[in-house]
């Protein structure tokens, strides 16, 4: 019988802390759990060769699948099942260990948020998406997939009786929070040693070209055939198929399962539609959110026009 590795032990300890912190005073329990999640992320960061940072629901799962498929095929990993990335523990030459983060717990462990210091000379891909689309996608993640404890430690609404408008306009969960995240990165960017900004919308328009940019940034040399295979494998239809199949597998990662296989809104991979946020708000509300983005988001991203 094999012994658990350090990564598995940390995950088990984090789960133990998560359960135990509920018994502490609320603020103390939240601080403890966020601190330990930051500790866990720092350990992963220290063992990584590159970073993909993004706000939640900005396309991270899609990028993970694209990169996983390329690296798995390139290096002879059998099967189509998607593993986590920090789990490339049986390292092979040429296989980078990539750390995927929403950049929301490291500061709790390190007691600062100086991104240039935190990420140092590691290559960092910053994946961004129109904050209006991100907020609507996050609404469905919160409503159908987010566990109760995650809502508590990240200050999301605890009751699911919240409208789309109220959620995405909320400073705690919606567009203002996403803009704050993006503005923090825009401020940090000039001091970052190796930073590549990738827009979700560009990735949708030219998946092969943007994937090539990302892989070359991480020191890879993909061929056209390898890129085409990864793009085909990570198509929305194929990723949704994998989710449906994973719903029947107890061993499959929760992050790659639908909340409810009978409810399309609960899938991790939902629509991927650029500008789809308009479908969930009135014209008056759309104007409100357009003003919010125009007035408060750093124009460097190009979403403020």
Which of 62, 49, 38, 216 shows the shortest CA–CA distance to 127? 62
Sheet with 195-199, strands from edge to edge, namely 98-101, 50-54, 124-128, 195-199
Q: Domains of the chain: which residue ranges? A: 6-301
* Per-residue model confidence as pLDDT tens digits over 111-129: 999 999 999 999 999 999 9
pTM value is: 0.83
Q: What percent of the chain lies above the pLDDT cut of 70?
A: 76
What are the CA-CA distances from residue 212 to residues 68, 82, 172 (Å)?
A: 14, 20, 35
**The dihedral formed by the CA atoms of 224, 226, 229 and 232, expressed in degrees to the nearest 10:** -60
Q: What percentage of the chain reaches a pLDDT higher than 90?
A: 61
Q: How confident is the model at residue 218 (pLDDT cuts 50, 70, 90)?
A: very high
User: For 298, phi and psi rounded to 5 degrees?
Assistant: -55, 125
Confidence of residue 160 (pLDDT cuts 50, 70, 90): confident
Q: What is the pLDDT of residues 171-193, one digit of tens each?
A: 999 999 999 999 999 999 999 99
What integer pLDDT is reported at residue 56 of this predicted model? 93
pLDDT digits (tens, 9 = 90+) for 65-92: 999 889 888 887 765 566 555 455 555 6
pLDDT tens-digit map of 26-53 = 788 899 999 999 999 999 999 899 999 9
Fold annotation for 6-301 = Rossmann fold (3.40.50)
């Amino acid at each position: 019988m094999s012994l658990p590795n350090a990564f598995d032990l940390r995950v088990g300890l984090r789960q133990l802390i998560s359960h135990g912190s509920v018994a502490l005073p609320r603020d103390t329990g939240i601080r403890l759990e966020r601190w330990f999640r930051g500790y866990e992320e720092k350990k992963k960061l220290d063992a990584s060769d590159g970073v993909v940072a993004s706000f939640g629901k900005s396309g991270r799962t899609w990028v993970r699948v694209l990169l996983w498929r390329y690296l798995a095929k390139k290096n002879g990993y059998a099967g189509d099942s998607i593993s986590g990335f920090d789990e490339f523990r049986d390292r092979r030459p040429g296989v980078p260990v990539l750390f995927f983060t929403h950049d929301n717990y490291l500061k709790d462990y390190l007691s600062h948020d100086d991104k240039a210091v935190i990420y140092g000379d590691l290559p960092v891909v910053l994946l961004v998406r129109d904050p209006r689309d991100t907020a609507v996608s996050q609404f469905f993640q919160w409503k159908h997939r987010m566990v109760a404890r995650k809502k508590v430690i990240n200050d999301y609404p605890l009751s699911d009786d919240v409208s789309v408008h109220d959620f995405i306009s909320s400073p705690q969960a919606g567009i203002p929070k996403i803009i704050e995240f993006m503005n923090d990165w825009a401020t940090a960017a000039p001091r970052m040693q190796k930073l590549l900004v990738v827009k979700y919308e560009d990735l949708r328009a030219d998946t092969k070209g943007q994937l090539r940019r990302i892989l070359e940034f991480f020191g890879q040399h993909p061929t056209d055939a390898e890129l085409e295979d990864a793009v085909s494998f990570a198509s929305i239809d194929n990723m949704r198929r994998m989710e449906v199949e994973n719903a029947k597998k107890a061993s499959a990662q929760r992050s790659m399962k639908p909340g409810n296989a009978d409810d399309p809104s609960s899938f991790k991979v939902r629509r991927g539609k650029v500008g789809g946020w308009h479908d969930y708000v009135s014209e008056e509300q759309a104007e409100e959110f357009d003003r919010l983005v125009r007035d408060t988001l750093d124009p460097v991203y190009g979403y403020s026009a």
